[in-house]
Amino acid sequence: MRLIIATRNPDKLREFRELLADAAAAGLTIVGAGEVPGLPEIVEDGTTLEDNAIRKAVGVHAATSEWALADDSGVEVDALGGEPGVHSAIYAGPHRDPEANNRKLLEALAGCSNRRARFRCVLALAGPGFPPATVEGRCEGVITTEPRGRHGFGYDPLFIPDGFSQTFAELSAEQKNRISHRARALRAALRAWGPLLRAAAAQATQRDSPSG
């Protein structure tokens, strides 16, 4: 049985493969969206991270009739009423320029003492006979007053996770991946759906085997 991960981002796909290794051992084949020809391009114009993640998972399941897992993520800033949130990638415009996004966020918070924020990642699962469902992972922290660090991507140079003095962009990939919103969402997904996916994979293997 296949689980299609609705992403074309190789780093995300690698993280998904690592965290789903147990389910893979039970017969689940993890496939990236880039490996499935003819998948529709799904427009991420939902009003919440949940909306977008569900749209992507349901879109891939509808096109393939297979199991599909999708994610959406963003940074929510308390003093901005949760913005940029679902608009994180296009905060400073449709060109998705991370440096322009970071500049705009620092300008929006200029002189503001409440710099509390969180990264949030929502994962959605859709599959045969399974109503689409979501889980989430969060990483709480604060927004700096200037960019720091060269690792990571997006808003990483502006985000200091609670319990650390460095930004995400100053931490190593291993350190970030232990505490990130995405890693936490994936662990929640495994708790919620791991048994179901392992059982469905085992059933499919039995059905497909010559003696099954």
User: With binding defined as CB under 6 A, does residue 136 bind ligand IMP?
Assistant: no
Select the residue interacting with ligand IMP from 26, 89, 108, 133 (CB under 6 A).
89
Indicate the DSSP class of residue 155.
T
What is the SS3 string spanning 10-42? HHHHHHHHHHCHHHHHCCCEEEEHHHCCCCCCC
Distance CA 122, CA 181 (A): 9
> Is there a contact between 39 and 33 (Cβ–Cβ < 8 Å)?
yes
- Pick from 56, 61, 70, 72: which binds ligand IMP (CB under 6 A)? 72
Report yes or no: 70 and 6 within 8 Å, Cβ to Cβ. Answer: yes
Is 161 among the residues that bind ligand IMP (CB under 6 A)?
no
Q: Which segment (27-35, 70-78, 123-131, 188-196) binds ligand IMP by CB under 6 A?
A: 70-78
**Which pair of structure tokens corresponds to residue 127?**
């599959």
Asked if residue 85 binds ligand IMP (CB under 6 A), the reply is: no
Is 22 an active-site residue?
no
Q: Does 88 bind ligand IMP (CB under 6 A)?
A: yes
Least separation in angstroms between residue 71's CB and ligand IMP is 6
Residues that bind ligand IMP (CB under 6 A): 71-75, 88-89, 101, 119, 152-156, 168, 180
